[in-house]
Chains A and B, each alone.
Chain A
Amino acid sequence: MSSLHDQMAATGKVKRSKDMPQGVGRLKEEHRKVVKDCRSQIEHWKKVENDYESLQDRLRTLPDKLSYDIMVPFGPLAFMPGKLVHTNELTVLLGDNWFAKCSAKQADDLVEHRKKHVKNALDDLQKVMKNFQNKADFTDDLEKLTGDTGDFVDIREKVINEEDVTKGKQRLAHKPNSKPKQEYLLELEDDKEKKEDDEERKTGVLSEEELWARLDELEREEELQDERYRLDSTDTNGEDTTSSSEEEKEADGGSDVQVNGHQKENGWVQSSITSQMNGTNGSHPEDEEDCDEETGNGLPTIYFSHTAEFKKVRINTGKNTTLKFSQRTEQKAQAKRKKKSGKTNGHSPHESYKFTSPADIYRVFVDLVNGEPIPRKSILKSRSRENSVCSDTSESSTADFEERRAAFGRSWSHDDTTHSDTSDGITEEESPTGTSPRTNGRFEAFTGTVIEKDPLPCSIPHLTIAPPALPTIPERKLEEVGSETPQEAPKRISKFKATRLHQK
């Protein structure tokens, strides 16, 4: 007995170290046992069902004749010729030692009723089997995951210096309670102290001017930085509309949030916002990060790091397109994108992209058609479709795109505009959320902020809501859309857009 206990103790300790694989193995065993049991039971019930089927056939043919000539079993070893009479009278076992005399047809009904029960049992067993099969598969995956084998890879990023991430500089205008405002407040306070109306007004005006001056200063700085990085970058594809980028900068978060709900888009949104805020950070959520593959201690881990460098990345979403966004990981991004077909065009590099909203990304994606920049319909789809029959690459398509964008924008824009009403644009709101995942040092697949609201149907409230002081991009866009919508009617609209329009 003592030895037994010793053994138990010993095995207990040993088991702890080898617990995991043993446990998993045992779990798999159990799962497989259950699945086997289920299978055998299913076999059994299927047999029963077949028996009932043949019984039903017999019942249907039995009353055809008044009597049948048969060989009657006589004891265990002999048969005797005889007759089967009263062919319609049957004594049926109902279960639990209960019998009933009934006709063949009634017996048929009873059999039907029993078959229903059998079917139910079969269905239940099938479900159970499927469940346990899934469980077994899952434990397999689990084993792979926790072991060193398999395709699962752990991705980690070590954030060493948080300042690098945020680049130190932040656009003050986009942060709540940022300096310009504070200046303004300070000025007011000074005014109050002075208690002179004229002076108050004067200083108020000055503070605003200071505000704008500061904004311009920051913008200029960002441009400079962008140019510097652009020069460094190897890939300068991207064509663009510096004008549009400037527009973006000017727009104080008042632009439409045209989120098309795609994760990538949102990833871009996130990065765009952060870039605008930080001014220089080009790092993205882990969709496109630099990966150094290293095999970690249990699981192969990929360590990646963000860099402060701003480099252009080429997004292969088709020819004539590029997203000018700086990133060091363009190689990986390219490798990824080469899988998704697409070619990119080299375009002139002069952009400094300040994204305030996802819409700005669309603005960046512009095709060079006949030397003119034309915005793209979709920055995720490959260009090949453009040459196909179904899509037209003419002006109409871009008009289409504009309208679609605006349509989308309308559905989302309320968000934007209301935000722009209340505060200094979405960017203020989104910027903290943008930075917070960053500063955590942990990266999740998607850290964008997607603000969803019910799409309100018309453009009129949209226009009215937009603050008149700022020449907001939505207004301009709407103007464009407005001018182009009459052209839209004869043009082909995609099903998707049509439904969206209908919904609106």
Chain B
Amino acid sequence: MAEAIQKKLQAELEKYQQLQKDVSKSMSARQKLEAQLTENNIVKEELGLLDTQNTVYKLIGPVLVKQDLDEAKATVSKRLEYINGEIQRYETLLKEMERKSEQHREVLSSLQQEYQRAQGQAVGKA
């Protein structure tokens, strides 16, 4: 009886750990996105400070490709929107994972209690 509980406990624990890892991964991804967000904001502002006389280049691989200022502005805005969307997605994902991990935690604690009781009984018997 105790062994069965033990096995269950172990399985549950593994699942919980996996979930925790996923959570941390999503967290780091989200942080990266946040950094990109601030950066793109700065780029947008600085593009605003320039005028058409300046040539804008985009680094694509080893190549600096000439871009139009307006094009560049549009591209940056689109990128910003994309980043915001991604952040939202990650937010929901994170919440979902948090909820699941909570459930797992509860299951784990209940299993643990059962196990302790079983242990106690086993000790009593023995």
Contact A117 B50 (CB under 8 A): no
Give chain A residues whose Cβ lies under 8 Å from the Cβ of B10: 1
By the criterion of a CB under 8 Å from any partner CB, how many residues of chain B are at the interface?
A: 30
Q: Give B53 Cβ to nearest chain A Cβ, in Å.
A: 9
Contact B49 A109 (CB under 8 A): yes
Q: Which of B98-119 contact A (CB under 8 A)?
A: 112, 115-116, 119
Q: Give A335 Cβ to nearest chain B Cβ, in Å.
A: 57
Q: Which of A81-111 contact B (CB under 8 A)?
A: 91, 94-102, 106, 109-110
Contact B58 A2 (CB under 8 A): no
Q: Give B31 Cβ to nearest chain A Cβ, in Å.
A: 15
The closest CB in chain A to the CB of B42 belongs to A95
Contact A98 B58 (CB under 8 A): yes
Give chain A residues whose Cβ lies under 8 Å from the Cβ of B47: 94, 98, 100
Q: Which of B68-119 contact A (CB under 8 A)?
A: 72, 76, 79, 112, 115-116, 119
Give chain B residues whose Cβ lies under 8 Å from the Cβ of A193: none
The closest CB in chain B to the CB of A110 belongs to B46
Contact B57 A110 (CB under 8 A): no
Contact B46 A1 (CB under 8 A): no
If the complex has contacts A5-B112, A113-B46, are A98 and B76 also in contact, measured as CB distance less than 8 A?
A: yes
Q: Mark B37-78, 1 if CB is under 8 A from A, else 0.
A: 001101101110110001111111000100100001000100
- The reply on A6 being an interface residue by CB < 8 A is yes
Q: Give B17 Cβ to nearest chain A Cβ, in Å.
A: 14
Contact A94 B46 (CB under 8 A): yes
- The reply on A504 being an interface residue by CB < 8 A is no
- The reply on A9 being an interface residue by CB < 8 A is yes
- The reply on B36 being an interface residue by CB < 8 A is yes
Main secondary structure of the interface of B (DSSP, over half): helix
**Among A5, A96, A100, contact of B54 (Cβ-Cβ < 8 Å):** A100
Contact B45 A97 (CB under 8 A): no
**Among B59, B115, B116, contact of A97 (Cβ-Cβ < 8 Å):** B59
**Among A2, A95, A102, A110, contact of B119 (Cβ-Cβ < 8 Å):** A2
The closest CB in chain A to the CB of B115 belongs to A5
- The reply on B6 being an interface residue by CB < 8 A is yes
Contact B54 A106 (CB under 8 A): yes
Query: A98–B41 Cα gap in the complex (Å)?
Result: 12
Contact A106 B57 (CB under 8 A): no
Contact B6 A2 (CB under 8 A): yes
Q: Give B28 Cβ to nearest chain A Cβ, in Å.
A: 17
Q: Give A199 Cβ to nearest chain B Cβ, in Å.
A: 84
If the complex has contacts A95-B42, A117-B42, are A100 and B116 also in contact, measured as CB distance less than 8 A?
A: no
Q: Give B116 Cβ to nearest chain A Cβ, in Å.
A: 6
Q: What is the size category of the interface that chain A forms with chain B? A: 20 to 34
Most buried by A among B45, B46, B76, B115: B46
**Among A91, A95, A106, contact of B43 (Cβ-Cβ < 8 Å):** A95
Q: Give B72 Cβ to nearest chain A Cβ, in Å.
A: 7
Contact B42 A114 (CB under 8 A): yes
Most buried by B among A8, A98, A110: A98
Q: Which of B1-15 contact A (CB under 8 A)?
A: 2, 6, 9-10
Most buried by B among A94, A99, A100: A94
Contact B43 A98 (CB under 8 A): yes
Query: A97–B45 Cα gap in the complex (Å)?
Result: 15
Contact B76 A102 (CB under 8 A): no
Contact B59 A99 (CB under 8 A): yes
Q: Give A63 Cβ to nearest chain B Cβ, in Å.
A: 16
Contact A100 B50 (CB under 8 A): yes
Contact A101 B45 (CB under 8 A): no
Contact B56 A96 (CB under 8 A): no
Give chain B residues whose Cβ lies under 8 Å from the Cβ of A106: 49-50, 54
Q: Give B60 Cβ to nearest chain A Cβ, in Å.
A: 8
Give chain A residues whose Cβ lies under 8 Å from the Cβ of B9: 1
The closest CB in chain B to the CB of A6 belongs to B119
Q: Mark A2-15, 1 if CB is under 8 A from B, else 0.
A: 10011011000000
**Among A9, A91, A95, A96, contact of B57 (Cβ-Cβ < 8 Å):** A91
The closest CB in chain A to the CB of B40 belongs to A96
Contact A99 B116 (CB under 8 A): no
Q: Mark B4-36, 1 if CB is under 8 A from A, else 0.
A: 001001100000000000000000000000001
If the complex has contacts A1-B9, A5-B112, A99-B59, are A113 and B49 also in contact, measured as CB distance less than 8 A?
A: yes
Q: Give A104 Cβ to nearest chain B Cβ, in Å.
A: 12
Give chain A residues whose Cβ lies under 8 Å from the Cβ of B42: 94-95, 113-114, 117
Contact B49 A5 (CB under 8 A): no
Q: Which of A391-420 contact B (CB under 8 A)?
A: none
Give chain B residues whose Cβ lies under 8 Å from the Cβ of A1: 6, 9-10
Q: Give B7 Cβ to nearest chain A Cβ, in Å.
A: 10
The closest CB in chain A to the CB of B119 belongs to A2
Contact A100 B56 (CB under 8 A): yes
Give chain B residues whose Cβ lies under 8 Å from the Cβ of A91: 57
Q: Which residues of B pack against A, CB within 8 Å?
A: 2, 6, 9-10, 36, 39-40, 42-43, 45-47, 49-50, 54-60, 64, 67, 72, 76, 79, 112, 115-116, 119
Q: Which residues of A pack against B, CB within 8 Å?
A: 1-2, 5-6, 8-9, 91, 94-102, 106, 109-110, 113-114, 117
Pairs of residues from A and B, 3 with the lowest C-beta to C-beta distance, nearest first: A97-B59, A99-B57, A95-B43
Pairs A–B under 8 Å by Cβ, sample size 21: A2-B2, A2-B115, A5-B115, A5-B119, A9-B116, A95-B40, A95-B42, A97-B60, A98-B43, A98-B72, A98-B76, A99-B64, A100-B55, A100-B56, A101-B56, A101-B57, A106-B49, A109-B49, A110-B49, A113-B42, A113-B46
